[in-house]
Amino acid sequence: MQSDIARVLIDRAAIAKRVEELGRLITADIARDGGNGPAEITLVPILTGSIVFVADLVRHLPIMAQIRLISVSSYPGAATASKDAHIREDLDTLPRSLRGAHVLVIDDILDSGRTLRLVTDLIREKEPATLRTCVLLRKRRPEAMEFSVDYTGFDIPDEFVVGFGLDYNDYYRNLPDIVTLRPEAIRRGLAQDHAKPGGAA
């Protein structure tokens, strides 16, 4: 696995520092929303890519927090360009109504913006008090930069990256740094891809 890495784009220390900062920003905003009442947040992590990020982020949110998972498929198998996004109803743990809730949708990366648009449209129908979005990474491409996201960890070049939750063909999520892959690893992934149905983003 280590030999598949071409370049480390963001190392674990830089990620840890930024995640802590994001936690502080989010906590301050939610405290303000709560007014005099207790601050409470409903986190909606998008499976599977956000799991590592959200696991670290929640430990920097010293407020009442619920976690409601949602799953969106967008990169089936060994694809490195975003395809049609759709919500997987079998993995949707959102309550019917979010009235009064301060919701924060969390994803690993903002690429075409299709995934976040899909999820925020769905959540908006559940009438939360506030709805914000947070991504660890945002690609420097027009579609991503135009999407208005409330918290961004890092802006990165428009390259395919893995690690810290992000996958290629469902592998490499366990790498502690954000990295690019060598062309051989990408080719191997394409050859191994048995077009698993419904892989989760």
**Residues annotated catalytic, as ranges:** 111
Q: Single out the segment in contact with Mg ion by CB under 5 A; choices: 47-55, 56-64, 135-143, 190-198.
A: 47-55
Site for ligand IMP in 99-128 (CB under 6 A): 107-115
49 touching ligand IMP, by CB under 6 A: yes
Rounded least distance, CB 28 to ligand IMP, Å: 26
Distance CA 173, CA 4 (A): 13
How distant, in Å, are the alpha carbons of 3, 127, 156, 188 from that of 111?
26, 26, 10, 23
Site for ligand IMP in 55-74 (CB under 6 A): 74
Amino acid making up residue 113:
G
Closest to Mg ion by CB, 27 vs 80, is 80
**CB-CB contact of 175 with 162 (8 Å):** yes
Report what 56 binds from ligand IMP, Mg ion, none; CB cut-off 5-8 Å by kind. none
Rounded least distance, CB 167 to Mg ion, Å: 5
**CB-CB contact of 137 with 179 (8 Å):** no
Distance CA 159, CA 181 (A): 10
Closest to ligand IMP by CB, 65 vs 149, is 149
Q: Is 36 exposed, middle or buried (0-12, 13-18, 19+ CB in 10 A)?
A: exposed
How distant, in Å, are the alpha carbons of 55, 118, 177 from that of 22?
13, 23, 18
**CB-CB contact of 137 with 109 (8 Å):** yes
Closest to ligand IMP by CB, 12 vs 33, is 12
Closest to ligand IMP by CB, 126 vs 173, is 173
**CB-CB contact of 134 with 104 (8 Å):** yes
29 touching ligand IMP, by CB under 6 A: no
Rounded least distance, CB 90 to ligand IMP, Å: 18
75 touching Mg ion, by CB under 5 A: yes
The residues of the shown chain that bind ligand IMP, judged by CB under 6 A, are 46, 49, 74-75, 82, 85, 107-115, 160-162, 166-167, 201
